[in-house]
């Protein structure tokens, strides 16, 4: 088993929480893990990207070459466009459809989504709306993780365990809220992949 994952978004969207959850899940299963992150003015809405590699065999590099990512999880559509060159031919792009418009020359949103949806394996999900519907506005990143779950080569129960480890210290209410978000994203992906 080997899964190369690009996590992309902007500061404050929970990229690092997704990475921490995946990392906790990997370590609990004694899998190997390598991760590299870049934060561009992340506290002001700058780009954040994480290369996350999980395998049952040793991993020798923490960076994912272009054209070889199995999954891109992007919590912002323009960030999907920025990293789509990393996606393998048979890889999956899981993208939020809700833009975070923080620059004056943000691309035309309709054309951007048309381009992303034209790719071979895409799950385009309004994770913000699903999180709002669950009354879990701050869990849209976990909705995204759930939407990517069918493509990560790990059971949903492994991700549930990772969530419990990362959010357990914040109390059962927070864990349960994130579990609902994870399952809502998973359900959407299974119905729309």
Helices 140-148/172-192 angle, 10° precision:
50
- Give the strand pairing for 2-10 and 32-39: unpaired
Beta strands in 20-163 (DSSP E): 32-39, 47-55, 69-74, 87-96, 122-125
Q: For 40-78, give one letter per residue: b (16+ CB within 10 A) or e.
A: eebeebebbbbbbbbbeeeeeeeebeeeebbbbbbbbbb
SS3 9: strand
Of residues 101, 107, 73, 104, the one with CA closest to residue 87: 73
| Confidence at residue 44, expressed as pLDDT on a 0 to 100 scale | 63
Beta strands in the chain (DSSP E): 2-10, 32-39, 47-55, 69-74, 87-96, 122-125
Token digits of residue 60: 């020798």
To the nearest 10°, the Cα dihedral for 111, 43, 37, 193?
-40
What domains can you pick out in the chain, each with its CATH number?
2-191 (3.40.920.10)
Q: What is the pTM of this model?
A: 0.94
167 close to 178: Cβ distance less than 8 angstroms: yes
SS3 93: strand
Spans of the chain below 70 pLDDT:
41-44
| Confidence at residue 135, expressed as pLDDT on a 0 to 100 scale | 96
Name 18's bridge partners. Answer: none
159 close to 25: Cβ distance less than 8 angstroms: yes
| Confidence at residue 92, expressed as pLDDT on a 0 to 100 scale | 98
Vertex 169 angle, CA 168 and 170, to 5°:
90
| Confidence at residue 4, expressed as pLDDT on a 0 to 100 scale | 98
Cα R_g (the chain), whole angstroms: 15
φ, ψ at 184 (rounded to 5°): -65, -40
| Confidence at residue 11, expressed as pLDDT on a 0 to 100 scale | 83
pLDDT tens-digit series, residues 44-80: 678 889 999 999 999 999 999 999 999 999 999 999 9
């Amino acid at each position: 088993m080997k899964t190369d994952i690009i996590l992309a978004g902007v500061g404050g969207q929970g990229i690092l929480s997704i990475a921490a959850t995946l990392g906790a899940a990997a370590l609990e299963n004694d899998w190997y893990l390598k991760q590299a992150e870049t934060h561009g003015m992340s506290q002001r809405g700058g780009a954040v990207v994480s290369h996350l590699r999980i395998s049952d065999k040793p991993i020798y590099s923490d960076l994912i070459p272009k054209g070889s990512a199995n999954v891109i999880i992007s919590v912002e559509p323009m960030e999907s466009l920025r990293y789509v060159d990393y996606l393998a031919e048979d890889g999956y792009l899981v993208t939020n459809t809700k833009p975070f418009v923080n620059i004056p020359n943000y691309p035309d949103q309709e054309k951007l989504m048309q381009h992303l949806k034209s790719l071979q394996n895409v799950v385009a999900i309004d994770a913000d709306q699903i999180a709002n519907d669950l009354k879990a506005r701050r869990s849209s990143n976990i909705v995204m993780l759930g939407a990517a779950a069918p493509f990560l080569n790990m059971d949903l129960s492994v991700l549930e365990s990772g969530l419990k480890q990362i959010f357990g210290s914040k109390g059962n209410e927070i864990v349960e809220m994130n579990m609902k978000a994870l399952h809502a994203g998973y359900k959407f992906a299974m119905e729309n992949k």
